[in-house]
């Protein structure tokens, strides 16, 4: 089986990436063979290797194309909304049951601990995501949404770690009350916002007594 008659090279590549995302999410990296992905895409192994050089290449390509990025989706939909609000909304979504594509990043992280070729490719991907998040933080600082003293790369690392952690500790393993999770997120995001002067002495006293 080769490329479907009449199909463009790009369409065939997209089909392979879609198949790779489905198979990796279901079976994990070590449980997936190149032939499994080729079969799921309706192609031969030889045809697959015309587009991708390895399983690692397929995994990272699937992650780039189909990995879940709720914050980026919200930024695209609501470009004028404050970064603090977007972080809060994204954090709320992290506490819910996630779709299978969310596990692509987890499978990549696990595979990176065992396979150097995955680690090398994943390092570049995570670097790109961290750079994007750090730039978003700087934008929020410029707009006055976030504390200007925050280290953008540290905030980016925190966001990446939180996303990975909530995917691993899913509601199936340990659930949390939605209201309690939302309350915690409000406090966390508030700590990232600019510190404003407190004019009410009573409020100031309460704030310093905690």
Taken in order of first residue, the domains within the chain and their CATH numbers are 9-62 (1.10.10.60), 67-195 (1.10.357.10)
CA 97 to CA 99: how far, in whole Å?
Answer: 7
Q: Write out pLDDT tens, residues 65-89.
A: 988 888 999 999 999 999 999 999 9
How do the pLDDT tens digits run along the chain, 210 residues long? 444 544 688 999 999 999 999 999 889 999 999 999 999 999 999 999 999 999 999 999 999 998 888 899 999 999 999 999 999 999 988 877 667 667 888 889 999 999 999 999 999 999 999 999 999 999 999 999 999 999 999 999 999 999 888 888 888 888 889 899 999 999 999 999 998 733 444 434 434 333
**126 CA to centre of own chain:** 9
- Supply the pTM of this predicted model: 0.81
pLDDT for residue 137: 97
List C-alpha distances in Å: 120 to 48, 52, 56, 91: 21, 16, 9, 28
């Amino acid at each position: 089986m080769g490329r479907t008659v009449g199909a463009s090279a790009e369409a065939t590549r997209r089909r392979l990436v879609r198949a790779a995302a489905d198979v990796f999410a279901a079976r994990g990296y070590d449980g997936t063979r190149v032939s499994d992905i080729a079969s799921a895409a309706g192609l031969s192994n030889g045809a697959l290797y015309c587009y991708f050089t390895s399983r690692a290449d397929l995994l990272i390509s699937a992650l780039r194309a189909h990995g879940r990025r709720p914050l980026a989706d919200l930024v695209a939909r609501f470009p004028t909304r404050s970064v603090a609000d977007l972080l809060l909304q994204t954090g709320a979504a992290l506490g819910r049951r996630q779709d299978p594509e969310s596990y692509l990043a987890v499978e990549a992280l696990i595979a990176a601990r065992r396979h150097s070729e995955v680690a090398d490719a994943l390092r570049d991907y995570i670097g790109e995501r961290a750079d994007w998040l750090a730039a978003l933080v700087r934008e929020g600082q410029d707009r006055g949404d976030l504390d200007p003293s925050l280290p953008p790369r540290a905030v980016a690392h925190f966001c990446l770690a939180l996303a990975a952690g909530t995917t691993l500790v899913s509601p199936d393993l340990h659930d949390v009350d939605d209201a309690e999770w939302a309350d915690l997120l409000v406090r966390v995001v508030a700590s990232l916002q600019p510190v404003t002067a407190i004019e009410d002495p009573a409020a100031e006293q309460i704030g310093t007594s905690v």
